[in-house]
Amino acid sequence: MKKIVALVLALMMVMSLTAALAEQETVTLKVSSIWSAETEANRAPFLKTLEEFEAAYPNIKLEVEWFEANAWKETGETLALSDSLPDVFYWNAGGVLWNLVGSGDILALNDYLTDDIMARMEPGLLVDMTFDGKVYQLPYTKAASMLYCNTELFDKYGVKIPETWDELIAAVKTFREAGVTPMALGGGDQWPTNMYTDIIALRFAGDEACRAAYYKTEGATFMTQDWLDGMAAFKQLIDLGAFPEDAASLTRDESEVPYFAGEIPMYVHGQWFSGSLSPEMQQKVVAVKFPAVGKGYDNQYMGGAAEGFCVSSYTEHPDEAFVAAQFFAENLSKNGYIAGAGLPAWKYDFSEYTDLNPVMAMIKEATSTADSMLLWGNTALTGEDATLIGDTVYDVLTGEITPEQWCEDMETIFE
């Protein structure tokens, strides 16, 4: 008799749950993503994540709009002015995120972040997504600037993979003398140039000084010998012909074509670049930390949790929007790493995967013992300050201003 009663109760519970699910209202969420181009490393992993979400939550329909990164930043800022941001959207962390937080456009997620969710996330990644104790974004990847070296070219010309600044300069000279452009750079988009200047500045000035300047803390300054030496070192690379002659006019995509073709041996870029390497190139390329300059900051990295998913503060479906944002973040973290597009920001056992991108695995290993990770200057800074660091670095690239003038121009952000 007890078994019959238990069976009846179980059937009643199943019927009740089924009825509840059947009664769930279908909700439609608008989602904005930056991976519009087929060549974007995170496009395929995100498409897979969307498929997984739709299977897991059939009652939540997604309307996804795709943008190029810079186009979405401009569009997103415009939409924010009219409280029209989509329910869930990609955005950068740090100062760029703070702009929308300050204007009240992003929902704080603290009430949704259970202990279980927090335990599944890699520690320390919410620093640049948290303001006044409130979390406004969930990361899907951990970023890191790396020096990508084509070992085939290094071997061909008898050049050592550089570990110090002197070795880097020697490599640049050797490749240049052989008629090979040493380093790829698409300065026309500006931010790829910042990838170089930020990591060089970090090597000369260190995390503490760079972080203070980018976040404009009291006493911060660009008028130091370390900052000047860093920009002068970048100028040295320019003068030695490290970059293509038309680097200032090349877009990032244009600048990467000869690297993919195996014609350029070195490139400083984020970890996502490894996901764009063909299987053949993955066997030729190694990703190493940027060379040391003798200041003791050689195990510090530019990067960290620099981007993620947000929920708009005026969404009509905050619960469902959080579910989507959290699902996107955690599952793109997994799918992106498996595809070689990013370092995971969430904990996952990858031991069953035997064909992971070897270059991304190098980056994961190298950054696992990083002394610190710092957001890029144009991400940590906000508004006109972020524009200024891009413009002035570009002016150094084109020879419009000197390293000394760069320091003076950047100092104006503290006025």
> What's the confidence (pLDDT) of residue 15?
42
Mean pLDDT in residue range 191-195: 97
Q: Residue 176's CB: how many other CB atoms inside 10 A?
A: 14
Per-residue pLDDT tens over the stretch 101-118: 999 999 999 999 999 999
The predicted model gives 376-381 an average pLDDT of: 91
Can you tell me the mean pLDDT for 246-255? 96
pLDDT tens digit sequence for 38-75: 888 899 999 999 999 999 999 999 999 999 988 999 99
Out of 58-72, 161-175, 351-365, 389-403, which region has the weakest mean confidence (pLDDT)?
351-365
Give the pLDDT of residue 150. 98
Residue 371 is predicted with a pLDDT of: 92
Least-confidence region, from 5-9, 118-122, 305-309: 5-9
> Residue 23 — very low, low, confident or very high, per pLDDT cuts 50/70/90?
low
pLDDT grade for 17, boundaries at 50, 70 and 90: very low
Q: What band does 27 get if pLDDT is binned at 50, 70 and 90?
A: very high
- In this predicted structure, the answer to whether residue 3 has a pLDDT above a threshold of 50 is no
Mean pLDDT of 288-299: 97
**Residue 7's pLDDT band (cuts 50, 70, 90):** very low
The confidence score (pLDDT) of residue 1 equals: 43
